Amino acid sequence: MKIPAVLIPLLFAATMLSSGEIKMDKYNMFDKNGLLHFNYKAQELAPREAAARIRLEEDLKKIVAIPKENRTFENTLLAYDEAFENYSRALGQAGFLAYVSDDDKLREAALELEQEISKYMVEVATRRDIYQAFKDYNDTNPQLGETEAKMLRDAMIGFRKSGLMLDDKKLEKFKELHKKMSENSINFSKNIREYKDHLAVSAEQLKGLPQDYIEKLKRDESGKYIITLDYPDYTPFMLNAEDEKARKELEFKFSRRGGPENIELLEENLYLRGQAAKLLGYKTHAESRLDTRMAKNPKNVMKFLTDLQKKLKPMARAEDKELLKLKLEKTGIKEKTLAAWESGYWNNMHKKLYYDVDQEKIKEYFQADIVIAGMFKIFGDLFGVEFEPVKIPVWHKDVKTYAIKDSGSEKTLAYIYMDLYPRDGKYKHAACFDLVDGKQNKDGGYQKPFTAIVANFNPPAGGRPSLLNHGEVETLFHEFGHVLHNVLTEAKYAAISGTAVARDFVEAPSQLLENWAWHPLVLKQISKHYKTGLPLDDATIAKMIAAKNHGSGNFYIRQDFLAQIDMKYHTQNRRQNTTREWAAAKLKITAVPMTKGTYPQASFDHIMGGYDAGYYGYLWAEVIAQDFFSEFEKHGIFDSQTGKKYRRAILAAGGSYDEEKLVEKFLGRKIDNAPFLKSIGLK
């Protein structure tokens, strides 16, 4: 998952950073060596922002004062970016630390400031004097290059969507709506991160779980084992625990994360988004989000999703029949449908029995350090770069850091952080945070990008290294795709650097890399049993590949459901009962009923944190990703010439050109969905 800037208001200008001279040295985000530092204190955040805001207002005042006839791309659009660059520098990485710091006071202070800044950003984005400055320049019909013209066009669209075509009264209402929505989104995410609950189970209830899983569990005062709601605890338990009652209880707790207050926050934001869209002249919030994306409008999205649903439904129902049959054989219980706490368990059991694939045993071969080293080697050779461990400042002792260098010039291009293990208060999913984006500096040099992978894999424990199941290997490759998109950028301007592309394209480079996690030669290279030192054997790899699409019908129809419910929520302008709508859509599309008393939407952080009316983008981008991969298959998945072509056409370009043009530049043709359908077992 690519973290959008909207999730990190403290990093509002993260796409506008450079190494230009600034006066507030004590608030610089870089240390004397040009590296990021993370030594922030809670009490200094507000003074940082106050000083930065004064500087920002001064810079904006200068831009507004330029006479119309003297306006240029440099003194208007780029100067605007530079103003926010200075603002962002002063704030540094405090916003990011709200998601990863183990300092409770710092996280809380960053969150409070995040809310204040988000409100201030609404004010700045809706200033008529700034809009008029851009409009005056745009009205001169400047003769610009393709990239610069795109930037100006996007800026003007942004102003329109900020409500600057509205009269004063409507603009004030629009601003208030957005301030409240921003506050709600921040609190929604906080409630998920800080939600506390667990399941206490006996040793008997752990039957089916591997010994290394059991050994790392903490115990309560009564001696029972504590199963938290974090993924390293939750997922293995739901896939392997034989005790159905315990699985049911854990799924119930998991599907109530965020609490009832998050239902209220979500439902209020859905209504407010609809009201804001209507003020701008759109019928729905979805329309307001999609007109600048590849899909263009909700009608195209729903056609894409319903067409895919029709193809997936027979596949998913056939899988359900197999699982229900297996449950009958093993328990004597005949059911018509599988409950939410059953599907994962019986799917995993079916895979073990009929494909002889035991993920817990396979996990013993995937040591995190070995997987990362193999991943670096494979994609380094493919894209012409090298990864070297370096000692640079970090925010936690478990964070590992690397410099990425160009293989030809040996020039350091960027820095990567890997924060892979769970802890209290940390972001609960796997994601890529781009901390500093690349851009061309005024002195002709290039700003080095800084990017972080944040995940929640199993930490080393009991003398064992960190072991990843194969799904987590895929996740790691996925996030590394975002990393490469960020660090291999050559975009001239940070506003269009790296992953600054349309939301329904941004996941394509990340989903592309997942394909390598399934190739036999790659699996050999990244696997090494933590006891024997042997790689995965050919027979096991063959079984894994044979089982690759096992359950894919249900997996993709669930993704289709999430995309459809997101679109349903955002194509209505009335007050909604999101729990009732979720339950109805889930049953209709997936045939799996929602557990009574739960509210999974309260932890669906995507649609409050930037993927609103955009969750379909995962499926949309995967179609593109599989088409990209068909080119690598054609020429060889280790072919460096194809890799370099992809690096130039897609990774280096960032958002310099329209996404359709980027795709056609690499493929030499328009998108074909046949490779995607083939990849999931559909013809």
Using alpha carbons, select from 620, 13, 9 the residue that is nearest to residue 293.
Answer: 620
Residue reference for tokens 């979720």: 582
* Cβ neighbour number for residue 585 with a 10 Å cutoff: 17
Dihedral, CA of residue 201, residue 203, residue 205 and residue 209, to nearest 10: 110
Per the listing, tokens 């831009």 go with 63
Residues 6+ apart with CB under 8 A from 157: 292
Q: What are phi and psi of 409, to 5 degrees?
A: -90, -15
Sign of the four-CA dihedral 481, 484, 490, 495? positive
CB atoms near residue 318 (< 10 Å): 10
Query: Running DSSP on this structure, what letter comes out for residue 648?
Result: I
> Which residues lie across from 415 on neighbouring strands?
403, 450
Would residue 183 show up in a list of annotated catalytic residues for this protein?
no
HEC profile of 45-59: HHHHHHHHHHHHHHH
DSSP bridge pairs for 630: none
How far is residue 673 from each of residues 238, 307, 510, 550, 681, measured CA to CA in Å?
33, 12, 18, 20, 13
- Taking alpha carbons only, the member of 404, 391, 291 closest to residue 651 is 404
Catalytic residue chosen out of the listed positions 479, 490, 507, 514: 479
Q: How far apart are CA 382 and CA 488, in angstroms?
A: 13
- Both tokens of 91, joined, read 């704030």
Distance CA 477, CA 482 (A): 9
Q: Which residues lie below 8 Å from residue 174, measured CB to CB, with a gap of 6+?
A: 126, 162, 163, 166, 276, 279, 280
Report the DSSP pairing between strands 412-419 and 400-406: antiparallel
Contact 649, 490 (CB under 8 A): no
Number of neighbouring beta carbons within 10 Å of residue 321:
10
Dmax (CA) for the chain in angstroms is: 83
Contact 273, 264 (CB under 8 A): no
Which are the catalytic amino acids? 479
